[in-house]
Structure 1
């Protein structure tokens, strides 16, 4: 059975380690990335101590499982080359031999990245917390100029690529001023090298891949950062729910065939500004982060108690999950003060459920964000200290069985995939947040 992995928080819940663990079963023929781009940071630490932060390659690469970048991914050839170099240093002899890219995937360039950073700097104290990699700018430009946005397929035609790169650079420079980025010819050279090295595929490729056996779909960022369901404007320009993966499977002739696996930590985190109702600065020294820290563009890495209200909202806007992966279970023993927040206090009232708003209504999402920024934890649950207590509590609160648990970066336990049927999520009860 195909499986789709999505983060039910603000990212950084451990999707990379979950995908790596699932790839050890030998069940999946390929890992398919279905959103995001080079700003993804999926950390995998192997039992022999090797560590890689996966951005564009699939997180099964160290296991020899091929990866595919779908048409929903923004591809950055320069960042991809740097990532391939690190994989070679870790013992992967031919990283590009394990990668294919849909020709329709949008191309992220140094001009997108430069524009991204200029916009974020211009916001001053009102920064959104961008990664500064240009992925959102890539999506923005494609929406504004759909006929001119460069794609991975354009890398095979230097004249067309040069024309599109010059147009891109000039338009962004006219809007934002001079861009600190290399000459167009240098970018074209890097893109041409990418096209010579990576297998660029057509529309039929994923259909053929799905016919060969189960696929593992790897999401980026988190559902609470989703472009339409997240808390605007502190969101990503990407669909982070299961929707893109399900679209790809429908196009491959296999709709509704995937198991939905949602990933959560035993505590809730986020990078940069935006709502984090359960944030507690006293937790940070008790829960050190070797692979997450302050980012120049993202801002601080923030930590809070498990936010069951926000994560249940993520499950609901996804349409439910079939199973959960619970990571960082070792934190329960290392930080005995960890708790679960089941309700917020907002403007004198108790809110136990965040109700999904009207589709694609960013004004509504912004108003919810303003209220969440005033919210405080008001209803708590404290499970027992045993791992089983937390597994049971989180499974009950989010309405799904726990398939995989992790007590460290290279220590995961996996239940038999074949023994788990699909479950149905029942939305939480209680007072909803409405505006």
Structure 2
């Protein structure tokens, strides 16, 4: 079920494999209206939400909310895997682009899991051991943190442990010893050094309990900023090329329900005019001839190649079905239209709608993945020309209105259609 399209809160989710432009959409939302906080509700330090200001300053937001340039506070909910070392590095970069006090506006739920150097080292060791069968991990230890917490729920390090040096040291030592016993020596710093860094983190940010989220939601307007994409969801993505994170609106719904405010949110789904994917896994519409300029994404040692496919209506329909639908769409990268021969895939060679299975059946998802790896896109004509109007074509294909379009990286490059009026004095270009 979708949310309230007039709800005071907005939840931003990527309906693809990630990298559709969630950061620039959140930046625009925070520039366009009063927003009291950005709540991160999944993922961790592996997120990469790129924001460019009209004056040229830029930052890739990982754990800070993408509204930080506008002074909007960030709250890391209990569903985020928090990496204190990566957060400190991100704060250093923000200081270099004119925001020396970004950490002063961060609150962190004490129940959130910690991503430690030991998780990161174990994550990288496992991915290297997969050889040619790599999953495309970011190598940041987020999935390792989730996996360890499932195996050892009572001793998994959490943010609140950073307030108790003795407890933190005990849990980090236990973690290191368990992972070392399983994987051999890890390329990670001594526990004492990690304790020093993590307790410094606890002194620098505000660590709160879950009631803080409820107060935020009841007192003001919040933008929920999702990480990654629905097609990478831990339960509904194409296993095993997925993330250890709920990338749907599930965590948003849980936080709103706890606050006694179920449904008081506009669900905004983000899509590109093409369908990218970072790393291995199904990308049915992949076209090696598609090589648009990509300033912020590229091949790296952990995820692998940054790949491009034509707009995949079938995959995006599946994402809509998995989430229960959205109220509106934000369509990004419209500046590519005309410069590249972009096409719209309406079906595969065997279906135009993927079946949604029950949560938790990873064998079923793996079977679907194998089917997708052998699938071929079906276009109306070959070669099919670009749609005359991408907005109209996407709306017709998915049955959801496009309410925000993006023709470039900054907030000034956004344009609203009915339903999202910009509250500043000048309209976006």
TM-score (norm 2): 0.94
| 1:47-89 deviation line (CA, Å, top 9, x unaligned) | 1101100000000001111110000000000000000001111
Pick from 324, 331, 337: which aligns with 1:332? 337
Note if contact 1:383-1:390 (Cα within 8 Å) is conserved in structure 2: no
* 1:362 positional shift: 0.4
Q: How does 1:225-244 map to 2 (within 5 A)?
A: 225-244=232-251
Note if contact 1:4-1:245 (Cα within 8 Å) is conserved in structure 2: yes
* 1:397 positional shift: 1.5
Pick from 92, 98, 105: which aligns with 1:98? 105
* Structure 1 residue runs without a partner (length 5+): 421-435
| 1:226-277 deviation line (CA, Å, top 9, x unaligned) | 0000000000000000110110111112111111100000000001110000
* 1:358 positional shift: 2.5
Tell me whether 1:359 sits opposite 2:363 in the alignment.
Answer: no
Note if contact 2:23-2:66 (Cα within 8 Å) is conserved in structure 1: yes
Tell me whether 1:414 sits opposite 2:416 in the alignment.
Answer: yes
Quote the residue 2:269 is aligned against: 262
Quote the residue 1:395 is aligned against: 395
Q: How does 1:10-21 map to 2 (within 5 A)?
A: 10-21=17-28
| CA distance, structure 2, for counterparts of residue 189 and residue 149 of structure 1 | 18
Note if contact 2:344-2:386 (Cα within 8 Å) is conserved in structure 1: no
Tell me whether 1:170 sits opposite 2:138 in the alignment.
Answer: no
| 1:331-356 deviation line (CA, Å, top 9, x unaligned) | 11211x211111112xxxx3111010
Q: 1:132 to 1:373 in 2, by over 3 A?
A: same
Q: Counterpart of 2:108 in 1: which secondary structure? A: strand
Quote the residue 1:433 is aligned against: none
Q: Counterpart of 1:305 in 2: which secondary structure? A: strand
Tell me whether 1:291 sits opposite 2:296 in the alignment.
Answer: yes
Pick from 68, 91, 104: which aligns with 2:75? 68
* 1:93 positional shift: 2.6
Q: Counterpart of 1:408 in 2: which secondary structure? A: coil
Q: How does 1:31-110 map to 2 (within 5 A)?
A: 31-110=38-117
| CA distance, structure 2, for counterparts of residue 146 and residue 81 of structure 1 | 26
| CA distance, structure 2, for counterparts of residue 263 and residue 98 of structure 1 | 26
- Deviating beyond 6 angstroms after TM superposition, the runs of 4 or more aligned structure 1 residues are none
TM-score (norm 1): 0.92
Q: Counterpart of 1:405 in 2: which secondary structure? A: strand
Q: Counterpart of 2:196 in 1: which secondary structure? A: helix
| CA distance, structure 2, for counterparts of residue 3 and residue 380 of structure 1 | 35
Tell me whether 1:282 sits opposite 2:289 in the alignment.
Answer: yes
Tell me whether 1:371 sits opposite 2:371 in the alignment.
Answer: yes
| 1:128-172 deviation line (CA, Å, top 9, x unaligned) | 000000000000000000000011110010000000000000000
Q: How does 1:138-149 map to 2 (within 5 A)?
A: 138-149=145-156
| CA distance, structure 2, for counterparts of residue 103 and residue 205 of structure 1 | 10
Q: Counterpart of 1:261 in 2: which secondary structure? A: strand
Q: 1:232 to 1:279 in 2, by over 3 A?
A: same
Higher relative contact order (CA 8 A, sep 6+): 2
* 1:289 positional shift: 0.6
Q: 1:316 to 1:248 in 2, by over 3 A?
A: same
| CA distance, structure 1, for counterparts of residue 328 and residue 176 of structure 2 | 45
* 1:415 positional shift: 4.0
Q: 1:29 to 1:383 in 2, by over 3 A?
A: farther
* 1:213 positional shift: 1.4
* 1:384 positional shift: 5.1
* 1:395 positional shift: 1.5
* 1:206 positional shift: 1.0
Quote the residue 1:423 is aligned against: none
| 1:365-417 deviation line (CA, Å, top 9, x unaligned) | 0000001000111233757555xx10011122122111111011111113464
Superposed CA RMSD in Å reads 1.3
Pick from 302, 305, 316: which aligns with 2:321? 316
| 1:175-230 deviation line (CA, Å, top 9, x unaligned) | 11100000001001110110000011112111111122121000000000000000
| CA distance, structure 1, for counterparts of residue 117 and residue 251 of structure 2 | 26
Note if contact 1:333-1:385 (Cα within 8 Å) is conserved in structure 2: no
- The number of equivalent residue pairs is 411
Note if contact 1:324-1:401 (Cα within 8 Å) is conserved in structure 2: yes
| CA distance, structure 2, for counterparts of residue 364 and residue 221 of structure 1 | 22
Note if contact 1:403-1:414 (Cα within 8 Å) is conserved in structure 2: yes
Note if contact 2:387-2:393 (Cα within 8 Å) is conserved in structure 1: no
Q: Counterpart of 2:346 in 1: which secondary structure? A: strand
| CA distance, structure 2, for counterparts of residue 354 and residue 89 of structure 1 | 46
Quote the residue 2:9 is aligned against: 2
Quote the residue 2:120 is aligned against: 113
* 1:32 positional shift: 0.2
Q: Counterpart of 1:333 in 2: which secondary structure? A: coil
